[in-house]
Amino acid sequence: MSLAQQRVLILGGTSGFGLQVAQQALAAGAEVTIVGRHADRLMKAQQAIIVAQPEGILETAQFNASDVKTLTAFFETNERFDHVVSMLGGALGGGFLANSVADIRAAIEAKFFDNLKIAQVASRYLNAGGSLTFTSGSGGSPATASGAIVGNQAINLMVQGLAVELAPDKRVNAVSPTWTPTGLWRELSDDEVAEQTNAFAANVPLKRVAKPAEVASAYLYLMQNQFVTGQVLAVDGGVDLA
């Protein structure tokens, strides 16, 4: 299915994968709306996308997508979308003993429950034939990424359940990237990012990290292929094979 004239909403689309999805969707002819909670990042993303795709139809909205009332109000005042992509969710290092219950709970809340809220709201405002695409994650282990791993596994299960609940008119999938140098790691110094990049590359079969554009292309594939639902597409360089 072509994305031409399709309406695509990207929640958390101000950097990294989301920014690349926006650019690629615009290049494919879609009308794109990106949502971010930080005005400065949203403006910076808008400027970058306009430079890359000056002919595209791009809109922006600033609000916290994990707030149900605000999210519902946004959908109620906008034309229905054909595809909704969520980049929501963070990261958490350390195992179950290394983190507090509060920190683990917060990681799961941000990864799973915030996306569940999005699913419950967005599915009501999605055009027939449309799709929801979430962001899971590959790599790591319960002993090194406790709450984040639980959140990712919960996303994977949610996708399977929603795919059945929303069939046959709507589809639900997820993309599962692994560690990639994106805006998620903006708190790390350049040296720390380089160290992490080298360490990761040394332990995967492809011996490198992903380019954000490579990961973004998976979201477009899942939006366009109308016979794919309930799937988690790993774009991770074979991280779990090494």
Domain boundaries of the chain, sorted by first residue? 7-235
Q: Express each pLDDT in 112-143 by its tens digit.
A: 999 999 999 999 999 999 999 999 999 888 99
Question: Band of the pLDDT at 90, cuts 50, 70, 90?
Answer: confident
Residue 83: CB partners within 8 Å, gap ≥ 6? Answer: 3, 6, 7, 8, 9, 30, 130, 131, 132, 133, 223
Neighbour-count burial of 95, counting CB atoms closer than 10 A to its CB (0-12 exposed, 13-18 middle, 19+ buried):
middle
Residue 1 has a pLDDT of 83
What kind of fold does domain 7-235 have according to CATH?
Rossmann fold (3.40.50)
Q: Is the pLDDT of residue 184 over 90?
A: no
Residue 175 phi/psi, 5-degree rounding, is -105, 140
Q: What is the mean pLDDT of residues 70-75?
A: 98
Please give the single-letter amino acid code of residue 73.
A
Q: Where are the alpha helices (DSSP H) in 13-100?
A: 16-27, 39-52, 68-76
Q: What is the mean pLDDT of residues 98-109?
A: 96
